[in-house]
């Protein structure tokens, strides 16, 4: 099977087909988790997998598993996965390229009549983005036992709709219990969501580890008042306090550069009127660093800064840490197989650390796993301008195909069963 390659044209057409579900006027995709558009793309994926002679099951977190039989169906499967949900103004490739590359691997093996020793599976994990229901990666988090099912079901979007209720509403609360499904190994293809591969002219990113991450929700409470009649020295402006914290968050990232990053990504101002002093502000904070001890330091600096700003501004403050993910090292044997596949296929590659979080990080706590990156144009992601070249998507899928075949070849040599 040395010369076997995926059908790049078919893979690209599948990606463009799924981009219709939640398509935006600017060429992107808005497909929030458990929305009607998410249901539509799930329905499409289920039918496509059945058309590829796979059995499709859904667990009680909405995770979809498409299974292709192997010669030894009692063996633990080799899985490929990612997610089909997007950001509110997202792109066509983030997550989607990984899921559909898995489907293309199965279609390619069907084309040549190749039967693997172990079963192969393609997984669509629920709510990877976390843009509607925070925190992210709820489906894989419950699977790995990191997040409780009750916590996941209780999460609310900004309109007060609960995750569990929306899962039921779109018809994707399955009967299988999340976490009880066994996996042997797991591989995930993803666009880099950064500029390094493109800048260096590399096609494949061999991901060795991923940085730690913490998410916070903060509410500052001051006093709303008339913008024209409230003297400046008497104001308790919640937005002003937020602005100072935003600057402080940025400084934390700069102080621990180049490895640290820090972001305030969502801000809601109340009452949000042109002539009213903001009485309260809700916002989120995202801190990341590849070293766990530095994450602890950044966390302490952030908490001290928020307390100080709130005290100096006369504001009440509520701070909740809603998500903690330590740094993750991927399985060395799986990483080596990704590297070897890239070399065998003559793709230029580099080893790298993942800045973004991915479902592979949670799955890696349960089974041997690896993450494969491909370039994205300008390093842009989580935006409608997100783009990838067809030849890079095809190359990534080829690497996954050959990694799966190599892994399968070792399965019945007394390893990884």
* Cα separation, 119 vs 315, whole angstroms: 57
pLDDT digits (tens, 9 = 90+) for 49-61: 999 999 999 999 9
pLDDT digits (tens, 9 = 90+) for 292-326: 999 999 999 999 999 999 999 999 999 999 999 89
Non-local CB neighbours of 374 within 8 Å, separated by 6+ positions: 97, 189, 190, 191, 192, 197, 203, 204, 205, 388, 392, 393, 395, 396
- Quickly state the pLDDT bin for 254 (edges 50, 70, 90): very high
Closest listed residue to residue 68, CA positions, set 137, 117, 7: 117
Is the predicted pLDDT of residue 24 greater than 90, yes or no? yes
Helices (H), 52-193: 96-112, 138-143, 149-154, 163-169
pTM over 0.95: no
Instruction: Count other C-beta atoms under 10 Å from residue 413's C-beta.
Output: 9
Do 75 and 117 touch, CB atoms closer than 8 A? yes
Structure-token pair, residue 248 = 């402080």
* Cα separation, 46 vs 42, whole angstroms: 6
Do 157 and 44 touch, CB atoms closer than 8 A? no
Is the predicted pLDDT of residue 405 greater than 50, yes or no? yes
- Quickly state the pLDDT bin for 416 (edges 50, 70, 90): very low
Is the predicted pLDDT of residue 417 greater than 60, yes or no? no
3-class secondary-structure state, position 238: helix
pLDDT digits (tens, 9 = 90+) for 169-201: 999 999 999 999 999 999 999 999 999 999 999
Give the residue-averaged pLDDT of 340-359. 96
* Cα separation, 24 vs 30, whole angstroms: 7
* Cα separation, 87 vs 114, whole angstroms: 37
Give the residue-averaged pLDDT of 231-242. 97
Give the residue-averaged pLDDT of 86-97. 98
H or E stretch at 354: strand 349-354
**In this predicted structure, what is the pLDDT of residue 1?**
59
Instruction: Count other C-beta atoms under 10 Å from residue 30's C-beta.
Output: 17
**In this predicted structure, what is the pLDDT of residue 2?**
65
pLDDT more than 70, % of the chain = 98
pLDDT digits (tens, 9 = 90+) for 110-138: 999 999 999 999 999 999 999 999 999 99
Is the predicted pLDDT of residue 220 greater than 90, yes or no? yes
Place of tokens 């299974």: 67
**In this predicted structure, what is the pLDDT of residue 413?**
66
Do 134 and 217 touch, CB atoms closer than 8 A? yes
Taken in order of first residue, the domains within the chain and their CATH numbers are 8-211+327-411 (3.40.630.10), 212-325 (3.30.70.360)
**In this predicted structure, what is the pLDDT of residue 410?**
86
Query: Mean of the per-residue pLDDT values for the chain?
Result: 96
Q: Is 238 exposed, middle or buried (0-12, 13-18, 19+ CB in 10 A)?
A: buried
Is the predicted pLDDT of residue 5 greater than 90, yes or no? yes
Structure-token pair, residue 118 = 């172990």
Closest listed residue to residue 91, CA positions, set 411, 384, 393: 384
């Amino acid at each position: 099977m040395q010369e076997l390659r995926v059908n790049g044209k078919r893979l690209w057409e599948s990606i463009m087909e799924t981009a219709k579900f939640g398509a935006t006027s600017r060429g992107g995709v808005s497909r929030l988790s458990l929305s009607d558009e998410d249901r539509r793309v799930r329905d499409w994926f289920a039918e496509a997998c059945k058309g590829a002679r796979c059995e499709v099951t859904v667990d009680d977190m909405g995770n979809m598993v498409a299974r292709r039989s192997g010669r030894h169906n009692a063996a633990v499967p080799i899985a490929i996965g990612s997610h089909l949900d997007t950001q509110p103004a997202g792109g066509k490739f983030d997550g989607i390229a990984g899921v559909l590359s898995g489907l293309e691997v199965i279609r390619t093996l069907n084309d040549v009549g190749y039967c693997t020793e172990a079963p192969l599976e393609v997984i669509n994990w629920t709510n990877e983005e976390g843009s509607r229901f925070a925190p992210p990666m709820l489906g894989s988090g419950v699977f790995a036992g990191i997040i409780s099912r009750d916590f996941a079901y209780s999460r609310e979007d900004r309109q007060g709709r609960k995750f569990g209720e929306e899962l039921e509403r779109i018809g994707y609360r399955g009967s299988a219990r999340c976490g009880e499904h066994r996996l042997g190994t797991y591989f995930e293809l993803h666009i880099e969501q950064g500029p390094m591969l493109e800048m260096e002219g590399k096609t494949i990113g061999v991901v060795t580890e991923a940085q730690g991450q913490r998410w916070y929700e903060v509410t500052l409470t001051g006093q709303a008042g008339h913008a024209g009649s409230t003297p400046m020295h008497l104001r308790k402006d919640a937005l002003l306090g937020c602005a100072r914290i935003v600057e402080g968050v940025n400084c934390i990232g700069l102080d621990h550069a180049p490895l640290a990053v820090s972001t305030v990504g969502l801000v809601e101002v109340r009452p949000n009127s042109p002539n009213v002093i903001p009485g309260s502000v809700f916002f989120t904070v995202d801190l990341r660093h590849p070293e766990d001890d530095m994450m602890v330091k950044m966390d302490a600096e952030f908490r001290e800064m928020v307390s100080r700003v709130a005290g100096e501004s006369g504001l009440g403050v509520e701070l909740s840490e809603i998500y903690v993910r330590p740094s993750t090292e991927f399985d060395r044997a799986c990483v080596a197989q990704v590297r070897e596949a890239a070399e065998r296929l003559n793709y230029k590659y580099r080893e790298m650390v993942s800045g973004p979080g991915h479902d592979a990080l949670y799955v890696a706590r349960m089974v041997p796993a690896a993450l494969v990156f491909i370039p994205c144009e300008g390093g842009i992601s989580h935006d409608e301008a997100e783009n990838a070249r067809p030849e890079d998507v095809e190359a990534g899928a080829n690497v996954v195909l050959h990694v799966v075949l190599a892994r399968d070849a070792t399965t019945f040599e007394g390893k990884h069963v």
